[in-house]
Amino acid sequence: MLLNSGNDTVPGRYWHHLDDGRIQCDVCPRFCKLKDGQRGLCFVRARQDDQMVLTTWGRSSGFCIDPIEKKPLNHFLPGTPILSFGTAGCNLTCKFCQNHEISKARQMDKLGSLATPEMIAQTAKDHGCSAVAFTYNDPVIFLEYAVDVAQACRELGLRTVAVTAGYIGDKAREEFFRHMDAANVDLKGFTEDFYHKLCSAHLSDVLETLKYLKQETGVWFELTNLVIPGENDGDGEFDAMTNWVRENLGPDVPMHFTAFHPDWKMMDHPRTPPETLIRARDIAIKNGIRYPYVGNVHDKSASSTYCHGCGDLLIGRDWYQLSDWNLDAHGCCANCGTGCGGVFQSTPGTWGPKRLPVKLI
Ligand code: SF4
């Protein structure tokens, strides 16, 4: 297959030559081995002549300003707007993908016109956003572009957020997360069988990323577990997952148990009953997780944040609207003074639930 030779193709990082003449991409644990002209599984990284290239630098699938809670991040600058965008392709093959029009895109003409890092950062700043999110598809596969955008954002005082499956190689991981201030990482299940059968990936690599984030970085991160009936919704799996999180990442990492809806290659599975999400949240609480939430369902109580010291309501949420705020200017409980894990401004943002599509100029 011929590669796009426009200026959206840039040299890729993290690859090496193999003895048999192929080159191996080391960006993610899939380690695609390519002959000249071939693309990796993510489709956007490819071998061109004798090097790896990224074919989607500067090409976006669209921009939208979202509430930061939609990423989801409940403990990072609550109430503020965040400029969100993605590109095309993905390095996982999740049969339940809820974003498959973007992640499975094979046509680069699905992508918009050139969006330079400076244009993106300036647009976010002009709209009063707190941050820019790399989302809709996994930014690991467009690492070079994400890093360039992140640098432009930081120059304008904006934060950066990655929404990712955490499926990334050792060296690429260091560079990628050095440029991120926060992340939401999908923990899609807690068995190798689940990752193998439904994502063609390995749980162990994702767990390595999570331990790296906790032990080696200052990135604020939260976890999302999409709960699929009959696949990853057993008490034993919730128990093992939440115990692992508390023991390896600590009690302050928020966990979002979110509802699945039939999509992509899993149209035969029903929606997740709200009671299942409550059951997962209850197990998380039993195992010492301080900030477990339900998502994709309307449940004010189970979407709100409570003080782990006195039990008072700290941050009330009604979908993506903040309804209560009982943190002091230092991010501590206004009632008992116990600190709440997260990154908070002295007052909450007032963006509300709005979604605002934007065009770059
Ligand atoms: S980033 Fe893409 S090309 Fe590289 S190993 Fe992963 S799927 Fe393969």
Number of domains in the chain: 2
Cβ of 91 less than 6 Å from ligand 1: yes
Whether 141 is in the pocket of ligand 1, judged by its Cβ within 6 Å, is yes
Q: Which atom of ligand 1 is nearest to the CA of 41?
A: 7
Any domain includes 5: no
Q: Which of 91, 137, 142 to mutate to test the pocket of ligand 1 (most atoms within 8 A of CB)?
A: 91
Ligand 1 atom with the smallest distance to the CA of 40 is 3
- Ligand 1: residue of 23, 35, 45, 167 to mutate (most ligand atoms within 8 A of CB) is 45
Same domain for 225 and 122: yes
Q: Are residues 151 and 256 in the same domain?
A: yes
Give a yes or no: residue 2 inside a domain.
no
If asked whether residues 49 and 119 sit together in one domain, one would say no
Question: What pLDDT does 101 receive?
Answer: 66
Ligand 1 site-directed mutation target among 25, 26, 34, 209, most atoms within 8 Å of CB? 25
Buried b (16+ CB within 10 A) or exposed e, 186-225: bbbbbbeebbeebbebebebbbbbbebbeeeeebbbbbbb
Q: Quick check: is 275 in a domain?
A: yes
12-44 burial by CB neighbour count: b if 16+ within 10 A, else e?
bbbbeeeeeeebbbbbbbbebebeeeebbbbbb
For a ligand 1 pocket test, name from 14, 16, 18, 28 the mutation site with the most ligand atoms within 8 angstroms of its C-beta. Answer: 28
pLDDT for position 169: 97
Domain ranges, residue 37: 10-54
What local confidence, expressed as pLDDT, does residue 61 receive?
83
The ligand 1 atom at the shortest distance from the C-alpha of residue 30 is 5
**What confidence tier does 5 reach under pLDDT thresholds 50, 70, 90?**
very low
pLDDT above 70 coverage of the chain, percent: 95
13-22, 92-101, 155-164, 184-193: which has the minimum mean pLDDT? 92-101
- CA separation, residue 105 to residues 102, 116, 318 (Å): 5, 21, 33
Do 190 and 44 sit in the same domain of this protein? no
The answer on 16 and 122 residing in a single domain is: no
Q: Within this chain, do residues 38 and 149 fall inside the same structural domain, yes or no?
A: no
Question: Does ligand 1 have an atom closer than 6 angstroms to the CB of 27?
Answer: yes
Q: Is the CB of 32 under 6 A from ligand 1?
A: yes
This prediction has a pTM of 0.95
- Beta-strand ranges (E) seen in the chain are 10-11, 15-17, 23-25, 33-34, 45-48, 51-54, 63-67, 81-85, 131-134, 159-164, 182-186, 220-227, 255-259, 292-295, 305-306, 313-318, 321-325, 356-358
For ligand 1, the distance from its centroid to the CA atom of residue 88, given in whole angstroms, is 13
Label residue 3 by pLDDT band (50, 70, 90): very low
Instruction: Please indicate, yes or no, if residue 14 is contained in any of the structural domains.
Output: yes
What's the gap in Å between 29 CA and the centre of ligand 1? 8
Query: Known binder of ligand: residue 94?
Result: yes
One domain, residues 212 and 241 = yes
Q: 234 and 207 in one domain?
A: yes
What's the CATH code of the domain at 326?
3.20.20.70
Domain contains 38: yes
For residue 126, report the distance from its CA to the centre of ligand 1, in Å. 34
Same domain, 28 and 71: no
**Residue 333 labeled ligand binder:** no
Q: What length does the chain have? A: 361
Helix (H) or strand (E) holding 283: helix 274-286
φ, ψ (nearest 5 deg) of residue 303: -105, 0
Determine if ligand 1 sits within 6 Å of the CB of residue 341: no
Confidence of residue 4 (pLDDT cuts 50, 70, 90): very low
My answer on whether 50 and 136 are in the same domain is no
Cα distances (Å, whole numbers) of residue 182 to 33, 95, 179:
31, 27, 9
My answer on whether 198 and 338 are in the same domain is yes
- The answer to the question of whether 28 is labelled as a binding residue is no
pLDDT tens by residue, 230-288: 999 999 999 999 999 999 999 999 999 999 988 777 788 999 999 999 999 999 999 99
